Amino acid sequence: MKSLEISEVVKRSGLPASTLRYYESLGLIESSGRRGLKRLFNPSVLERLDIISLSRWAGFTLDEIGDWFGRDGRVAIDKAQLVQKADEVEARATQMRALSKIIRHTSQCPEENHLECDNFRKLMKIARRHRPTKEATTKVR
Amino acid sequence: MKSLEISEVVKRSGLPASTLRYYESLGLIESSGRRGLKRLFNPSVLERLDIISLSRWAGFTLDEIGDWFGRDGRVAIDKAQLVQKADEVEARATQMRALSKIIRHTSQCPEENHLECDNFRKLMKIARRHRPTKEATTKVR
DNA sequence: GTGCCACTTAAAGCCAACTTGAGGTCAAGT
DNA sequence: ACTTGACCTCAAGTTGGCTTTAAGTGGCAC
């Protein structure tokens, strides 16, 4: 299995080298060795970076994501915990769709003040029902 | 229209007073006056806070949200911009659902290493297709 | 062997979105 | 008149997720 230099991983993953080093420092990825000082990466790192990016995008913290990866390079996370996460993400997706509807409606509503539009209020109510009660959510960028 | 003290707004909105003051400092909400030093709020602030919380949750920045509210207390945002936002949010919802599926699958896949599971790879591919190309996303909490 | 240049490190800096803390104010109850 | 306690302001601190910077290193082409 060919090793990749960091520049190659940068090119293929789209992530800057600083981020890769940062992720490594957190234990989210690992380099397979060094040539001189230079890190070498196993190509499988690319798949892992995909999972990380996607999960970050969905609102998981690096901390949470880190928990998923065992020492041996396998995805190791408790089944029940995974199912719960899946539910969480799905609920979030549902709410996003509600918001999208609210926004789309807002763009077309003739009512001059949207707060006075019944349809708008109704959508808000639906969205509110799906709102996290406490502080379930995380950060994304 | 009865004015609300900040404690009342805290109770009804679920947001801490510090956040309300912070939002006011950013111009996202406004107090209708003072009794002594104490801020008084128009009850309509609650609806606005709902919109703000929901939008924050969906990934909009306070900056973006701030743009939606005109000086006169009405929601004033460009139609085309709104439609675009709705599309963005919807795309995000779609992707979230894909991720949810990936996670759920991961929880059930017999494959010991998920990276080697075809189904998993397939889902990843779908999710990747919906990934933002550049840096479209924001922060949430 | 000498220079180049892609890499390295550690530490500091940055941004959004708040929160915390210190010290001050005021209306209301006793 | 005085205490209480809910509110106030302003500045500084916090967190997550990086990026930037300064100074160093080492493989490779010449």
Q: pLDDT at position B70, please? A: 67
The answer to whether A141 CB is within 7 Å of strand D is yes
Rounded Cα distance, B57 and B40, in Å: 26
HEC profile of B41-80: ECCCHHHHHHHHHHHHHCCCCHHHHHHHECCCCCECCCHH
Alpha-carbon gap, residue B83 to A81, rounded angstroms: 36
Q: For A58 and D5, how far is CA from C1' in angstroms?
A: 43
Q: What is the mean pLDDT of each run of 10 residues along chain A (141 residues)?
A: 92 96 96 95 93 83 84 65 82 83 81 71 72 38 33
B65 CA from D13 C1′ (Å)? 26
Task: Give residue A70's pLDDT.
Answer: 66
The whole-number mean pLDDT for each consecutive block of 10 residues of chain B, a chain of 141 residues, reads 92 96 96 94 92 83 85 65 82 83 80 70 69 37 35
Q: Which protein residue lies nearest to nucleotide C20, measured between its Cα and the C1' atom?
A: B18
- Predicted structure pTM score: 0.77
How far away is chain B from the Cα of A5, in angstroms, using its nearest Cα? 21
Q: Closest partner residue to A140 among B99, B107, B137, by Cβ?
A: B137
pLDDT at residue B102 in the model: 80
pLDDT value of residue B83: 85
